[in-house]
Structure 1
Amino acid sequence: MSKWLLVNCLTFLLLFCLIFGVALGAELNFVTCGSVIKLLNIKHNVRLHSHDVRYGSGSGQQSVTGVSAAEDSNSYWSVRGTNDAFCYRGTSVKCGQTIRLTHVNTGRNLHSHYFASPLSSNQEVSAFGDEGEGDHLDEWTVQCGGSVWRREEAVRFLHKATEALLSVTGEQYGRPIHGQTEVHAMSSPSQHSLWKAMEGIFMKPSESPVGGRDYSHPHTEF
């Protein structure tokens, strides 16, 4: 399936759910593999966002920001496994599990490295890869308090390679992304690094994980 068709299929399904009040797995109280979700930073009330705008400094990769608008389609991320750990559709994401978050509209993965972020000079967070495939710097460990990532729970995302936490501290960009908030990574846990799953499509558990689809690699099934 082409990238263009994948994006349009996902957009259609999301619009269908919003118009007709349908939410796959709405009764679930945990986040599952294969789900397409928005993530809210609860300290700054902004959703994790990306778009086809590159940083003018640092890595020059696709920028990742925070936006206050709840309805922006560029804030959807797909929950996937890694190359080393399968993530079968509908299985709950466990606390301590390493995942990838793939930006739905551009097919690039949430990524970090030791470049300095543009505004705060913390660790840069970008979107990287092509068609959902990047490298080991796309891997994040879910930190939460119980056995699984619960939808109502504030969680943290620890970048596996650098041991820094996905964070927002409130710095805002000017043109061409005026008003959007810098997203970066920081070594110390704080209120700035707490995130909550919000709008999206939450996949129901499969009857048998053995027969489920592996979300280590990008797929779409309707």
Structure 2
Amino acid sequence: MGILDCAVSRHTLPTVLLYLCCIFGPSLGTELSFVTCGSVIKLLNVKHNVRLHSHDVRYGSGSGQQSVTGVMTIEDSNSYWSVRGTLDTLCHRGTPVKCGQDIRLTHVNTGRNLHSHYFASPLSSNQEVSAFGDDGEGDHLDEWTVQCGGSVWKREEAVRFRHKPTDAFLSVTGEQYGRPINGQREVHAMADPSQHSLWKAMEGIFMKPSEIPTGSRDYSHLHTEF
């Protein structure tokens, strides 16, 4: 777990993350022991050892929205998510994410938000999880509550994400897709918390309030809370 090293990760970083990493250096945020608003991170499902992933491939059933899966690959740039506030609650860059706080997770490469709704997931018929919206803007079904044990979301802690509108938990239970995404795991939401719904923050850039200078590029195409 930790910050990405520009020297070894140059070919796996999205362009916008590489831009930041090369400006601020590989030590960016290493002293932070908690996850902050504006951070760009990968999330690991502890039980199944897969990272939360998305790509511009749509479900062939259910909502038909952009699919969300779990992948074993560590280096895949499609596994980066930015931590943002909701439509009603700002998440000021660099502030620790509190336990019980509502957030949005925006997929960096496509600008769509982690989303859920009452469609059946394609493999297990649990609640579908998708990526939805445009340039970071979606709707209230993009909101997730961080459930953790203390006052803030610690980087070494396994946490849960409860979908605020439906009370279901972001989960993986091991079902695998065939082509065209062979071997990727189904990500879905389930009514009850379990060992399948525990996630840890892994590789990423963990922001402090002063780490983006005034006038620099807003690399996620998001808004003021980022």
The bucket for the TM-score relative to the shorter chain is 0.7 to 0.9
Aligned to 1:48: 52
Q: Distance in 2 between matches of 1:199 and 1:63?
A: 22
Go from structure 1 to structure 2 and tell me whether the alpha carbon gap of 1:23 and 1:139 turns closer, same or farther (over 3 Å shift): farther
Mapped partners of 1:112, 1:92: distance in 2: 25
How large is the Cα RMSD of the aligned pairs?
2.0
Report the Cα distance in structure 2 between the residues aligned to 1:122 and 1:31, rounded to whole angstroms.
29
Aligned to 2:162: 158
SS in 1 for 2:141: helix
In the alignment, does 2:63 pair up with 1:59? Answer: yes
Which residue pairs with 2:75 in the alignment?
71
Match of 1:142 in 2: 146
- Give the counterpart of 1:113 among 107, 112, 117: 117
CA shift, 1:196, in A, is: 0.1
The alpha-carbon deviation at position 9 of structure 1 amounts to 4.4
Aligned residues: 203
Q: 1:197 aligns with which of 194, 198, 201?
A: 201
Gaps of 5+ in 2: 1-12, 212-220
Instruction: Pick from 124, 127, 130 the counterpart of residue 123 of structure 1.
Output: 127
Identity %: 83
Q: Normalised by the size of structure 1, how large is the TM-score?
A: 0.87
Q: Which residue of 1 aligns with 2:26?
A: 22
Q: For residues 181-192 of structure 1, what are the structure 2 equivalents within 5 Å?
A: 181-192=185-196
1:152-195 CA-partner distances (Å, limit 9, x unpaired): 00000000000000000000000000000000000111100000
Tell whether the 8 Å contact from 1:49 to 1:75 is kept in structure 2 after alignment. yes
Report the CA distance between 1:219 and its aligned residue.
Answer: 4.4
Distance 2:81 2:105 in 1: 6
Q: Does 1:100 align with 2:104?
A: yes
Give TM-score, length-normalised by structure 2.
0.85
